[in-house]
Amino acid sequence: MTYFPILSFITFLPIVGMILILFIPKSQAVIIKSLTLVITGIQVIAALFILHYYNYSLGGINDPNSFQFIEKFRWIDIAGFSWIGRIKIDYFLGIDGISVPLVLLTAIVTFIATISSWTINKSVKGYFALFLLLDTGMMGVFVALDFFLFYIFWELMLLPMYFLIGIWGGPRREYAAIKFFIYTLFGSVFILLVMIGLYFSSTETLADGTKIFTFNMLAMMNPHNFTQFGILSPLNPNNLRLIAYIFLFIGFAIKIPMFPFHTWLPDAHVEAPTAISVILAGVLLKMGTYGILRVCFPIFPEITQQLVWYIALFGMINIIYGALCAMAQKDFKKLIAYSSVSHMGFVMLGMASLNTLGISGAIFQMFNHGTITAMLFLIVGVIYDRAHTRDLEAFGGLATQMPVYTGFVTLAFFAAIGLPGLSGFVSESFVFLGAFGFGLIRVLTVVSTLGILLGAGYMLWTLQRVYLGSLKEKWTSLTDLTFREYAMFIPLSLIIIFLGVYPSAMLSLMNTSVNSMVKFMADAKVMYSSLAGF
């Protein structure tokens, strides 16, 4: 089957853009910005193409044949004598129902963030070059099916992010940037270790029947592909799968960010420029949960089942803890940052349920959180651009001065607290329905529902402090939204409303995959317990 390699296109297009930008003279800021906008715009179109040609009936997960838009060829192929040094790495891209929403999300959020970046005036060239590099890294993570490739993309986005926060950020940007960098690197070295361990434990059968070690994630999901004595092989009675799982999980959890690894997030968010906060919250955090879904769950199904309670527990802690912390914040952006912690807790809770509703809810929540939080950060950005402060206490009554803006704010806030008719509601409900359906974590789920109460608490309180009440004298000069800001808010609002009313549009994308995943996890229980008898 030959067709246009759309996944490579969508992934590497930004790199092409980056190279082009490097050749544009520094002074041509507008050209650089427009070029970035065009590139990200094409990405959105490409994502819509993917959506259009996506076959809803194919499941993916562990079945290579039901992935779509597959691009696979040998990337690194080093023959060895004996087995030493033999290494085969595939350039293996493909998407299923779990990645499609995130590809879409990445394209959209990046596009919006580009519009938001229009205000950047300092080293424009560097900013947009790094921005596009970041884009490639994020997109790559969601389409890579080879662990090695996945890891490369995973790490690829660290450095641009560091600079984007560190150079274009707020007053304490250096601290925030390095904190982000060190935390995430700390997480990713564990991922690297487990990746290597898995490589030496799993094999792939070549066309000629020989078995070789593999980085292919799909091959790792089949327990029959494991070697007899690999340290991470379930066949090996002394395997280290539990420890590896925890390592891997921590690696991903730092990105989510999961309590107690979340402390980088408020700093990074607060210091990052608006567009980067949008990307951080909108896409980057999803990489953690995506990683857990794509890697931890199907490769270690039996461990997942053992640890599901803890995952849910941490999900619950995230929800409650994040919400309570958000409530105490005086900095608008920090509040939103903590609300992200809380919302990502829902994703974890949903994943832990291991049933269709929960996992669909989790993925859907990933998408929704991406759009909603992007919007929230843009909202903070708008106010910060005008007032140059984010102190919640400093404002009041902006609704009078900026009615349209306040309208969008209200929409975003209510979406964030899960109001029906807006997308957040469906995903949160699904998470609860799914998690509650799993007896083991039922109590945790009930406690987690407190999160929606607290969420309403801090969001409405913020709404009141900033937008309602009487207008303060010094803010009478603030102006309402500009055309550019409309261009950011309207698409996001439409998505939020559309998915709230017609969630099937997104849910049907992932249904088949989620169901195969649930089925796979359930079957794996039997399969792995039979393996233990080896």
Partner 1 sequence: MNTISLNYLVDSLKLIKPEIALSITLVLIVLVDLIMNKDKKFLPYVFVAGLLVTVYLLIEQFSTSAFAFTTAPNLGMVIIDPFGNFFKLLIAFATIIVIMFSVLSNEIKEGLDRQGEYYALMSGMILGMFLMASSADLILIYVSLELVSLSSYVLAGFNKNHVRNSEASLKYVIYGGISSGIMLFGISILYGLTGSTNLYEINSLIQASQVHGLTFIVASVLIFVGMGFKISAAPFHFWTPDVYEGSPIPITAYLSIASKAAGFALLIRFIKITFIQSVDPNGFWHLLNVIDWKTFFIIISILTMTLGNFAALWQNNMKRLLAYSSIAHAGYLLLGLTVLSNEGIMAIIIYFVVYGIMNLGAFLVVMLIANKLGSEEIDDYDGLGSKAPFLSVSLAIFLVSLTGLPPTAGFIGKLYIFMALVDAKMIAVAVIALLNTVVSLYYYIRVLKHIFLNDPQKETQVLSTSVASVVFLVVLITPVLLFGIYFTPLVDLAKSSISLMGF
Partner 2 sequence: MTEPMMINLALAILFLPLLGFLVTLLFGKRIKSIYTFEIAIIILAFVGAVVLLFTKLSYYQNTDIVSQVSWINLGNVPLLGNTTIDIGILIDNISVLMIFVVTLISMLVHIFSIVYMEGDRLYNRYFAYLGIFTFSMTGIVFTHNMLMMYIFWELVGLSSYLLIGFWYEKKSASDAGKKAFIVNRVGDLGMLSGILLLYTTYHTFTFSQIFSQIAAGHFPLNSEFWLTVTGILLFCGAIGKSAQFPLHVWLPDAMEGPTPVSALIHAATMVAAGVYLVVRIFPLLTSGALMFIAVIGMLSAFIPATIALTQNDIKKVLAYSTISQLGYMVMGLGVGAYKFAFFHLITHAFFKALLFLGSGSVIHAMHHEQDITKMGGLRKKMPITYATFLIASLAISGIPLTSGFLSKDGILQGSFAFGSLTGYWIFAFVGFLVAMMTAFYMFRLLILTFHGEPRDHHKYEHAHESPFTMAMPLAVLAVLSIFIWYTPNPFNPEQGAILSNWIKTPQLVTPQDSRFNFMKSELPANVAVQQVTQNSEVMYSESYTQALEGAHIPSLLLSLTLAGLGILIAFSFYQWKKVDVDKLADSIKPLYKLSYNKWYFDEIYGAVFVGGTLLLSRALAWFDQYIVDGIVNGAATVTRAVSRFSGKFDNVVVDGMVNGTAYVSGFIGLIFRRFQTGKVQTYIVLVVFSLVILLFIFK
| Contact set with partner 2 (CB under 8 A) | 174-175, 178-179, 182-183, 186, 259-263, 321, 323-329, 355-357, 360, 397, 399-400, 414, 419-421, 425-426, 429, 432-433, 436-437, 445-446, 449-450, 452-454, 456-457, 460-461, 463-464, 467-471, 503-504, 507-508, 511-512, 514-515, 518-519, 522
Does 19 sit near partner 1 (CB under 8 A)? no
Q: Is there binding between residue 288 and partner 1 (CB under 8 A)?
A: no
Minimum distance from CB of 457 to partner 2 (Å)?
6
CB of 15 to partner 1, least distance (A): 11
Residues in the chain, overall count: 534
- Quick check: bond before 420 cis, omega within 30? no
158 or 450: whose CB is closer to partner 2? 450
* Contact pick of 17, 59, 94, 197 for partner 1 (by CB under 8 A): 197
Question: Can you tell me the distance from the alpha carbon of 300 to that of 244, in angstroms, rounded to the nearest whole number?
Answer: 9
Q: Among partner 2, partner 1, none, what binds residue 185 when CB lies within 5 to 8 Å by partner kind? A: partner 1
Phi/psi-derived region of residue 469, left when phi > 0, alpha when psi is between -120 and 50, beta in every other case: left
Considering the complex, what minimum distance in angstroms separates the CB of residue 167 from partner 1? 6
CB of 250 to partner 2, least distance (A): 12
Smaller CB distance to partner 1: residue 98 or 149? Answer: 149
Q: What are phi and psi of 232, to 5 degrees?
A: -110, 25
Task: Name residue, tokens 């990445």.
Answer: 106
259 contributes a contact to partner 1 by CB under 8 A: no
Rounded to 10°, the helix 356-387/504-531 angle is: 130
220 or 506: CB nearest partner 2:
506
Residues facing 226 on adjacent strands: 202
Choices 192-200, 270-278, 463-471, 500-508; region in contact with partner 1 by CB under 8 A: 192-200
- Closest approach, Cβ 4 to partner 2, in A, equals 28
- Determine contact, residues 517/96, Cβ cutoff 8 Å: no
Assign 259 to helix, strand or coil: coil
Q: Judged by CB, which is closer to partner 2: 334, or 369?
A: 334
Nearer to partner 2, 92 or 321 (CB): 321
Look up residue 397 and give its DSSP letter: -
Buried-exposed string 450-480: b where 16+ CB fall within 10 A, e elsewhere: ebbebbbebbeebbebbbeeebeeebeebeb
Regarding 394 and contact with partner 1 (CB under 8 A), the answer is no
Closest contact distance (angstroms) between CB of 39 and partner 1 is 20
Q: Which of 156, 246, 354, 363 binds partner 1 (CB under 8 A)?
A: 156
Q: Does 237 bind partner 1 (CB under 8 A)?
A: no
| CA dist., res. 31 & res. 21, Å (int) | 9
For residue 392, what are its two tokens? 């919640």
Q: Which of 173, 262, 269, 369 lies at the binding interface for partner 1 (CB under 8 A)?
A: 173
Query: Could you say whether residue 82 binds partner 1 (CB under 8 A)?
Result: yes
Half-sphere exposure of residue 531, counting CA atoms within 13 Å on the CB side? 21
Count the neighbouring beta carbons within 10 Å of the beta carbon of residue 393.
9
Q: Which of 255, 253, 380, 262 is nearest to 321 (CA)?
A: 262
List the single partner that 443 binds among partner 2, partner 1, none, CB under 5 to 8 Å by kind. none
Shortest Cβ 265–partner 1 spacing (Å): 18
**Shortest Å, Cβ 321 to partner 2:** 6
- Comparing CB distances to partner 1, the nearer of 84 and 207 is 84
- Return the residue matching tokens 């790559």: 140
| Closest listed residue to residue 280, CA positions, set 351, 325, 337 | 337
The answer to the question of residue 241 lying near partner 1 (CB under 8 A) is: no
Residue 319 near residue 346 (C-beta atoms within 8 A): yes
CA angle 123, 128, 131 (to 5 degrees): 125
Angle between helices 173-199 and 158-168 (to 10 degrees): 180
Residue 16 binds to partner 1 (criterion: CB under 8 A): no
What whole-number distance in Å separates Cα of residue 77 and Cα of residue 68? 24
Q: Which does 84 bind (CB under 5 to 8 A by kind): partner 1, partner 2, none?
A: partner 1
Cis peptide preceding 298, ω within 30 of 0: no
Give the residues lining the site for partner 1 (CB under 8 A). Answer: 75-78, 80-85, 87, 123, 151-152, 155-156, 158-159, 162-163, 166-167, 173-174, 177-178, 181-182, 185-186, 189-190, 192-193, 196-197, 199-200, 231, 240
